[in-house]
Amino acid sequence: MAKKADKPKRPKAELPRGFHDTFGEEVLERDRMLSRIAEVYRMHGFDPLETPAIETVESLGKFLPDVDRPMGGVFGFQDDDESWVALRYDMTAPLARVAAQYRQDLPSPYRRYAMGPVWRNEKPGPGRFRQFFQCDADTVGTSTVVADAEICGMLADALQAAGIARDDFVIRINNRKVLNGILEEAGLQGDDEDVRRGIALRAIDKLDRLGEGGVRALLGEGRKDESGDFTTGAKLAEGQIDLLMGFVSAGREDGTATCARLRELVGASEQGIEGVQELETIAEFLDSQGYRAPLAVIDPSVVRGLAYYTGPVYEAELTFDIIDDKGEKRQFGSVAGGGRYDDLVMRFTGQRTPATGVSIGVDRLLAALRARGNATEKKAQGPVVILALERDQMSVYQTIANELRNDGIRAEVYMGGGTNLGKQLKYADKRHAPAAVIIGSQERESGMAQIKDLVLGTQLASEIESNEEWKSQPAQQEIQRSQILAIIRAILDRQSTP
């Protein structure tokens, strides 16, 4: 007896770990929000830029938080010419490549915004995905910190355009030059301290999430998280830790007092003093343009984990409370951040090219809008569905669909198999169709059509007990074929009225 052939192994219909699908209304919701933000950027004179999802590894550089591992944190692979490429992990590294590659053609300063997905090969977690959307705006080619202040003000405008109330967020601003002055005082300057300095920067950047105790642990020997994973610390001495923690807690009642305290901490460090002066300039500009405290504040606890920042850094933090997955009240936290990176383009050109910019975490901002009730969570309205009850009448059905489309109404003809009425109505329900057009043989011969208001029908269904009542209910009506457009328009207008 012949041996039965093994059945082919079917692949599992599942996503890779750390990724997610986005459907219907979520996609439209994101597009609407991004279009409002883009309009703010355009009004400030920024132009759109699109770059490929893939860059050479050399172009991307080693500016991810995982600086200890070559290729750490990126999705990389070898091309057929044996060169290494990787999916972009942010929008800034590709911009640096563009600024260098087209430097003879671009205006200087060059102001651009970019929107799209980025990828990070990091440990996924609740709300932390390996692919996510970013929305960036950058100015390349100017060293004045007024450009940093302008980005901060524009960020405030963009958040309000997206739907976040002015009282629900704060722009927190610091300067890496001040921190470098503190690191100098702590004995952490110099190439031989790159690793410990990088760990320290990332530790301080997590102050809002881990608290003082967690940051102190990461500045010291290390920290074990709730899952049991251990993160090696910077192994600083107690005095060094105290100095750094004193820096992040240097915030005072206003910008003037905070800058005065920072001047005390940086001591004689020229870089530290320069950073304090830049913060004073930014605060003065923002105040003159109406972005004064509490909307924009000087906050020494803002560090930003990426290694390429060279001057001012800033974050947008939402200040309202939400209920987390554990049922506990907490603030929503940061939805955007950025800063000055004057050395990034120099990797390509050898010449210092000043630049500054901000990145909005699109998914987090959308989640915030939903938390505040400022985003639509209901299903998106689908197209009007023209049922196909007679297969030889498809051209008639398509003509009706085109008439609706020509009047600006979404419409489609049912393209599934069979002519069963119930099956096609179930399809229309799954499509969240506002209405269905029914023309069977009887309607065709009499020049009539049946129109079902599916939204009203759903509302009335629980109140109807007999077939006679169903036929007579106002959600279904028989009309002249020539009235289809007018009746559908009336139904849509009624459904759009609160």
Q: What is the pLDDT of residues 298-342, one digit of tens each?
A: 998 888 766 778 999 999 999 987 776 677 777 788 899 999 999
pLDDT (0 to 100) of residue 142: 95
> Which pLDDT does position 61 carry in this prediction?
75
Q: Are residues 232 and 312 in the same domain?
A: yes
What is the pLDDT at residue 468? 61
Residue 68 pLDDT grade (very low, low, confident, very high; cuts 50, 70, 90) = very low
15 in any annotated domain: no
Give me the chain's average pLDDT, please. 87
In sequence order, what are the beta bridge partners of 359? Answer: 136, 337
Percentage of the chain with pLDDT > 70? 91
Q: Is residue 12 part of a domain?
A: no
**pLDDT score, position 67:** 43
pLDDT value of position 196: 83
Partnered with residue 318 across adjacent β-strands are 169, 333
Please give the average per-residue pLDDT across 434-452, as a whole number.
Answer: 94
Find the range with the poorest average confidence among 131-140, 356-365, 468-477: 468-477
Residue 5 lies in a domain: no
DSSP conformation letters of 13-68:
--PPTT-----HHHHHHHHHHHHHHHHHHHHTT-EE----SEEEHHHH-S-SS-TT
Same-domain status, 316 and 413: no
How many domains does the chain contain in total? 2
> Could you tell me if 366 and 414 lie in one domain?
no
Whole-number pLDDT of residue 69: 46
SS3 189: coil
Residue 361: helix, strand or coil by DSSP?
A: strand
How many helices (H) and strands (E) are present in the chain, helices listed first?
Answer: 18, 18
Largest Cα–Cα distance of the chain, in whole Å?
Answer: 94
What is the 8-class DSSP label of residue 115? E
365 and 401 share one domain: no
Tell which of 371, 397, 429 closes a domain: 371
313 within some domain:
yes
SS3 384: strand
Q: Which of 298-302, 338-342, 465-469, 472-476 has the lowest mean pLDDT?
A: 465-469
Q: Is 242 helix (H, G, I), strand (E, B) or coil?
A: helix
Question: Are both 194 and 128 inside the same structural domain?
Answer: yes
**What's the average model confidence in pLDDT over 25-48?**
94
DSSP H/E element including 98 = helix 92-101
* pLDDT at site 65: 46
Task: State mean pLDDT over 480-491.
Answer: 94
Region 120-146: what's the mean pLDDT? 90
Write down the pLDDT at residue 304.
Answer: 78
| Bond preceding residue 294 cis, omega within 30 of 0 | yes
Residue 462 pLDDT class (50, 70, 90 cuts):
low
Verify that 290 and 420 share a domain, yes or no: no
Render pLDDT for 182-210 as a digit per residue (tens, 0 to 9): 888 777 777 667 778 778 878 887 887 78
Tell whether 192 and 89 lie within a shared domain.
yes
Q: List the beta bridge partners of residue 135.
A: 115, 360
Q: Which of 175, 360, 143 is nearest to 183 (CA)?
A: 175
**pTM (two decimals):** 0.79
Domain range for 244 is 24-371
Q: Which residue has the higher pLDDT, 162 or 83?
A: 162
Are residues 458 and 364 both part of a single domain?
no
Q: Which of 304, 339, 371 is the last residue of a domain?
A: 371
Cis bond upstream, residue 383 (ω within 30): no
- Do 439 and 290 belong to one domain? no
**So what's the pLDDT on residue 207?**
80
* Phi/psi of residue 343, nearest 5 degrees: -105, -5
Token pair of 152, please? 């901060």
Q: 394 with 364, same domain?
A: no
Q: What is the pLDDT of residues 216-254, one digit of tens each?
A: 999 988 898 877 788 888 888 888 888 888 888 888 888
Q: Mean pLDDT, to the nearest integer, of 418-429?
A: 93
| pLDDT, position 70 | 47
